[in-house]
Copies of this chain bind each other. A is one copy, B any other.
Amino acid sequence: MDLTCPIPRQTSPQVLLAHGGGGKLMQDLIDKMFGATFGQTCTGHDAAQLMAPAGDLAFTTDSYVVQPLFFPGGDIGKLAVYGTVNDLAMAGAKPLYLSVGFILEEGLPMETLWQVVHSLAAAAQTVGVQIVTGDTKVVERGKGDGIFINTSGIGTIASPTKIYPGAIQPGDAILVSGDLGRHGIAIMAQREGLALETTIESDCAPLVQPVQDLLTAGIEVHCLRDVTRGGLAAVLNELAIAAGYQFQLDEKQIPITEAVRGACEIFGFDPLHIANEGCFVAIVPPEQAAQSREILQTHQPTAEIIGRVTDIACPGEQLAIAPVIFENSFGVTRILERLSGEQLPRIC
């Protein structure tokens, strides 16, 4: 990947419908932008032909529609790589290959597309994943919103046991890999043009290495989930229902920075409902909880043990048992509900 590749002079300053039309202009875009940045592997044919990896596969897809396209700590290109790579990591997989599909709006400045493409390539290089195939469509002005990106990813599963909600056991410890709320607040502050006291940067980051470190250390990881849309509340409710056991949390252990708390007060958000892009929940046997925290803290010092899986059956959210509760030291409980509606759209 040549990340210094300049914009070729003959390129149109804006994206035209013809850049998605299958003719010379599209071929130019593919050769001069994608070929020059991602390498020729992704431009030669309809489907990439790849060596079969050893072991079972993980396969995932995500579309990215974040607004604004650029925000403190990241942009849609970086997000499109790390978001999908993180979904693979959550299955205990080592990411190998990515596809990239762009849906561009006619009139998009070509300069903006270059910036996003470079950021995407740099992020792929950082995590060591290859962009092997792609697609570009252009829609008329007013029928899209600048850039939408889909990335799909293939990884090879590195975990000796299946990492999924079905492996969650009563007694398991629940950890988060870092402090919550930074991505959502970064987007919101940028969107509203608010200058907070301190600029809060998105936590947008790859989660491959912390997961690999847990596995390498012999942690018997039962379940992993990145804390994205819907925030911690949505993720834990889903996992508790899928596992069939109530989760119990210690609210004061949940890591949230003062800056995020302050911004949440201004915006009227609950940090537990806010999306993150570089934070995950890990569910591990209780006797490995302290070691897991230690490993996670080498990547993000705010990682913490926040609760445990109870033996109270929780067959679904329609019933009397709440999937996720807080319990304080006086035994007083409070339900952690997930939002029904939409708090903050176009976050990823």
Contact of A133 with B23 at beta-carbon distance under 8 Å, contacts A47-B91, A341-B18 already known: no
Copies in the complex: 2
Q: Bound complex: CA of A86 vs CA of B46, how far in Å?
A: 9
Q: Which residue of B lies closest to A21 (CB)?
A: B342
Q: Is A191 an interface residue (CB 8 A)?
A: no
Determine if B58 and A47 form an interchain contact, defined as CB atoms under 8 angstroms apart. yes
Determine if B52 and A230 form an interchain contact, defined as CB atoms under 8 angstroms apart. no
Contact of A139 with B346 at beta-carbon distance under 8 Å, contacts A47-B93, A57-B49, A101-B63 already known: yes
Q: Scan residues 264-320 of chain A and give those whose CB is less than 8 A from a CB of chain B.
A: 275, 317
Q: Is A202 an interface residue (CB 8 A)?
A: no
* Residues from chain B with Cβ under 8 Å of A99 in the complex: 59-61, 152
Q: Is A334 an interface residue (CB 8 A)?
A: no
Mark A118-152 against chain B: 1 for CB-CB distance below 8 A, else 0: 00000000000000111101111011110010101
Partner of A56, one of B50, B137, B344: B50
Q: Which residue of B lies closest to A23 (CB)?
A: B339
Determine if A90 and B24 form an interchain contact, defined as CB atoms under 8 angstroms apart. no
Q: Bound complex: CA of A61 vs CA of B99, how far in Å?
A: 6
Determine if A152 and B24 form an interchain contact, defined as CB atoms under 8 angstroms apart. no
Which stretch in A108-116, A154-162, A170-178, A255-263 binds the other chain? A154-162
Q: Scan residues 87-102 of chain A and give those whose CB is less than 8 A from a CB of chain B.
A: 87-88, 90-91, 93, 97, 99-102
Q: Bound complex: CA of A88 vs CA of B45, how far in Å?
A: 10
Partner of A53, one of B20, B27, B52, B140: B52
Determine if B135 and A61 form an interchain contact, defined as CB atoms under 8 angstroms apart. yes
Which stretch in A71-79, A212-220, A221-229, A324-332 binds the other chain? A221-229
Q: Which residue of B lies closest to A56 (CB)?
A: B52
Q: Is A193 an interface residue (CB 8 A)?
A: no
Q: Scan residues 23-63 of chain A and give those whose CB is less than 8 A from a CB of chain B.
A: 23-27, 44-63
Partner of A345, one of B21, B55, B60, B64: B21
* Residues from chain B with Cβ under 8 Å of A132 in the complex: 59
* Residues from chain B with Cβ under 8 Å of A200 in the complex: none
Q: What's the nearest-Cβ distance from chain B to residue A199, in Å? A: 25
Q: Which residue of B lies closest to A55 (CB)?
A: B52
Determine if A25 and B340 form an interchain contact, defined as CB atoms under 8 angstroms apart. yes
Q: Is A103 an interface residue (CB 8 A)?
A: yes
Determine if A18 and B340 form an interchain contact, defined as CB atoms under 8 angstroms apart. yes
Contact of A65 with B139 at beta-carbon distance under 8 Å, contacts A99-B152, A133-B59 already known: yes
Q: Is A17 an interface residue (CB 8 A)?
A: yes
Determine if A46 and B133 form an interchain contact, defined as CB atoms under 8 angstroms apart. no
Q: Which residue of B lies closest to A143 (CB)?
A: B145
Determine if B342 and A18 form an interchain contact, defined as CB atoms under 8 angstroms apart. yes
Partner of A61, one of B64, B93, B134, B345: B134
Partner of A47, one of B22, B90, B133, B144: B90
Q: Bound complex: CA of A62 vs CA of B46, how far in Å?
A: 9
Q: What's the nearest-Cβ distance from chain B to residue A40, in Å? A: 11
Partner of A23, one of B44, B51, B340: B340
Sort A-B residue pairs by CB-CB distance and give the 3 closest, nearest first. Answer: A22-B230, A22-B229, A152-B152
